């Protein structure tokens, strides 16, 4: 029996709230708070039965957050607002001695930079306060870290290469839309690529390296090497990794749209003056693109995200591929959301459940792969994310013939 405060009523917030609401034995009281309270009220109304309370909060404002937390007294805050709010929400948790969980690492608004250093800097203060922060508990980051920890625990003595492969083979029927917050998504894709090799980061131009990779039940899809935040914590927590890369699929049409938007300056985060007002082109673009939470209905196809790992077990070269496929239509039937919000919101709920039931405990700031992966892996299929594995079969990411 625990009280949970969920901050952010977007695509992911909708899924986390519905999933928590369906498990009253763990999440007895739920407060959903966001900038636009009407979005919280719409979700709460749809769930019904007065199960979810709602509130308005500006999560950039620490005193406002502290007041809300002191009033509701949650055991845990689940942050599914935007990465910009991570530090203010962590600060409020610290001041009120409340556990914290999020799905994306902090990013300063004025530089597109994904780094854990700002959040890891809270470790000692969380430890002294006796509270726990779990960082990056969506799918990627999130399940990909748990998959890697599970592989390390059960299938390897030493892991040498890790490739995270993320495919969205869905069709939402819109000319151009992003599956999660457009501002965060476009900042992630348009920055330089980066991967880990032999103890150092190798930088690439944006989307410079790409190749087709075969995905289960989907087939080959052009996949682009990106920098993704979990690489930073995974190479730190699994130092035997000689190489770690992240691949994501994009359709030709998506890339064409993105190139045009980039070339005309619409993806810039530098403010420009328009009719006497400073506006950020990317923020304006977000305002005209469809909201990720609106893409669910009629979305066809599925996502496939997994980890392909090579290493050694009992002195023998071993390969391991673990993945989940998620259907957009099934996600919509379950929680009125597309698969990208679903695959993020379900793991956030499971992570919260791990913390509130004492399966994951401690004091300080941790990434998901630092906890026992087994109870989390056990819950994934129970709440809609079945996973599959292949042991000692050729890894699709290694196939240069495709």
Residue ranges in contact with ligand NDP by CB under 6 A:
8-13, 34-36, 39, 57-60, 80-83, 85, 103-104, 138-142, 180-181, 184, 292-293, 340-341, 344
List, as one string, the DSSP characters of 93-132.
HHHHT-EEEESS----TTS----SHHHHTTHHHHHHHT-E
Handedness of CA 184, 180, 215, 308 (dihedral sign): positive
Q: What angle do CA 225, 230, 231 make, to 5 degrees?
A: 55
CA distances from residue 320 to 164, 305, 309 in whole angstroms, order as listed: 12, 14, 5
Nearest CB to ligand NDP, comparing residues 109 and 242: 109
Nearest CB to ligand NDP, comparing residues 143 and 156: 143
Entry field: residues in the chain: 402
Shortest Cβ 113–ligand NDP spacing (Å): 14
Shortest Cβ 312–ligand NDP spacing (Å): 29
137 Cα distance to chain centroid: 6
Shortest Cβ 230–ligand NDP spacing (Å): 8
Q: Which residue has the tokens 């996600």?
A: 331
Which is nearest to 286 in space by CA: 190, 189, 181?
Answer: 181
Nearest CB to ligand NDP, comparing residues 311 and 345: 345
Shortest Cβ 41–ligand NDP spacing (Å): 12
Shortest Cβ 183–ligand NDP spacing (Å): 8
Nearest CB to ligand NDP, comparing residues 58 and 334: 58
Shortest Cβ 343–ligand NDP spacing (Å): 7
Nearest CB to ligand NDP, comparing residues 83 and 384: 83
Which is nearest to 293 in space by CA: 177, 176, 184, 135?
Answer: 177
Nearest CB to ligand NDP, comparing residues 55 and 202: 55
């Amino acid at each position: 029996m625990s009280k949970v405060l969920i901050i952010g009523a977007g695509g992911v917030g909708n899924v986390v709230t519905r999933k928590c609401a369906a498990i009253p034995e763990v999440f007895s009281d739920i407060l959903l708070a966001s900038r636009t309270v009407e979005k919280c009220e719409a979700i709460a109304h749809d769930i019904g039965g007065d199960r979810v309370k709602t509130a308005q909060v500006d999560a950039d404002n620490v005193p406002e957050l502290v007041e809300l937390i002191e009033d509701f007294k949650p055991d845990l805050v689940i942050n599914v607002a935007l990465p910009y709010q991570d530090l203010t929400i962590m600060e409020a948790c610290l001041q009120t001695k409340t556990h914290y969980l999020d799905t994306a690492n902090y990013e300063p608004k004025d530089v597109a930079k994904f780094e854990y250093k700002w959040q890891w800097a809270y470790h000692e203060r969380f430890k002294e306060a006796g509270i726990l922060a779990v960082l990056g508990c969506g799918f990627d980051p999130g399940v990909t870290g748990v998959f890697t920890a599970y592989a390390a625990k059960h299938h390897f003595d030493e892991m040498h290469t890790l490739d995270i492969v993320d495919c969205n083979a869905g069709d939402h029927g819109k000319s151009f839309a992003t599956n999660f917050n457009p501002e965060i998504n476009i900042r992630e894709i348009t920055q330089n690529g980066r991967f880990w090799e032999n103890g150092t980061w190798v930088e690439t131009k944006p989307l410079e390296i790409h190749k087709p990779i075969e995905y289960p039940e989907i087939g080959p899809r052009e996949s682009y090497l990106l920098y993704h935040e979990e690489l930073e914590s995974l190479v730190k927590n699994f130092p035997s990794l000689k190489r770690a890369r992240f691949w994501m699929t994009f359709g030709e049409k998506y890339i064409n749209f993105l190139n045009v938007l980039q070339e005309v300056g619409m993806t810039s985060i530098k403010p420009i003056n328009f009719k006497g007002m400073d506006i950020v082109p990317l923020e304006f673009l977000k305002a005209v693109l469809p909201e990720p939470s609106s893409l669910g209905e009629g979305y066809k196809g599925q996502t496939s995200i997994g980890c392909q790992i090579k290493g050694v077990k009992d002195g023998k070269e071993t390969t391991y591929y673990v993945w989940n496929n998620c259907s957009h239509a099934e996600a919509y039937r379950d929680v009125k959301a597309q698969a990208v919000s679903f695959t993020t919101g379900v793991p956030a709920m499971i992570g919260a459940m791990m913390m509130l039931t004492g399966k994951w405990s401690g004091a300080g700031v941790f990434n998901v792969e630092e906890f026992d992966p087994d109870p989390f892996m056990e819950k994934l299929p129970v709440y809609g994310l079945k996973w599959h594995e292949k042991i000692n079969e050729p890894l699709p990411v290694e196939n240069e013939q495709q």
